[in-house]
Chains A and B, each alone.
Chain A
Amino acid sequence: GAVVSQHPSRVICKSGTSVKIECRSLDFQATTMFWYRQFPKQSLMLMATSNEGSKATYEQGVEKDKFLINHASLTLSTLTVTSAHPEDSSFYICSAVVRSGSANYGYTFGSGTRLTVV
Chain B
Amino acid sequence: RKEVEQDPGPFNVPEGATVAFNCTYSNSASQSFFWYRQDCRKEPKLLMSVYSSGNEDGRFTAQLNRASQYISLLIRDSKLSDSATYLCVVNRPDSSYKLIFGSGTRLLVRP
Residues of the B chain whose Cβ atoms lie less than 8 Å from the Cβ of A43: 4, 87, 101-104
Residue B42 at the A interface, CB < 8 A?
yes
A42 to B104, CA, bound (A): 8
With known contacts A41-B103, A42-B103, A43-B87, A112–B42 Cβ distance under 8 A: yes
Task: Please report whether the interface of chain B is mostly helix, strand, loop or mixed according to DSSP.
Answer: strand
Contact of A114 among B41, B87, B100, B101 (CB under 8 A): B41
Query: Is the beta-carbon distance between A112 and B97 smaller than 8 angstroms?
Result: no
Taking CB atoms and an 8 Å cut-off, the chain A residues in 77-118 that contact chain B are 91, 93, 95, 97, 105-107, 109-112, 114
Query: Is the beta-carbon distance between A109 and B104 smaller than 8 angstroms?
Result: no
Closest to A32 in B: B97
Query: Is the beta-carbon distance between B43 and A93 smaller than 8 angstroms?
Result: yes
Residues of the A chain whose Cβ atoms lie less than 8 Å from the Cβ of B43: 93, 109-112
A111 to B41, CA, bound (A): 9
Residues of the B chain whose Cβ atoms lie less than 8 Å from the Cβ of A114: 41
Q: Mark B40-83, 1 if CB is under 8 A from A, else 0.
A: 01111110000000000000000000000000000000000000
Residue B1 at the A interface, CB < 8 A?
no
Residues of the B chain whose Cβ atoms lie less than 8 Å from the Cβ of A110: 43
Closest to A39 in B: B103
Q: Mark B1-38, 1 if CB is under 8 A from A, else 0.
A: 00010001000000000000000000000000000000
Interface residues of A (CB under 8 A from B): 32, 34, 36, 41-46, 49, 91, 93, 95, 97, 105-107, 109-112, 114
**6 more A-B contacts (CB under 8 A) besides A41-B8, A46-B100, A112-B43?**
A34-B98, A43-B104, A46-B99, A93-B44, A106-B46, A112-B42
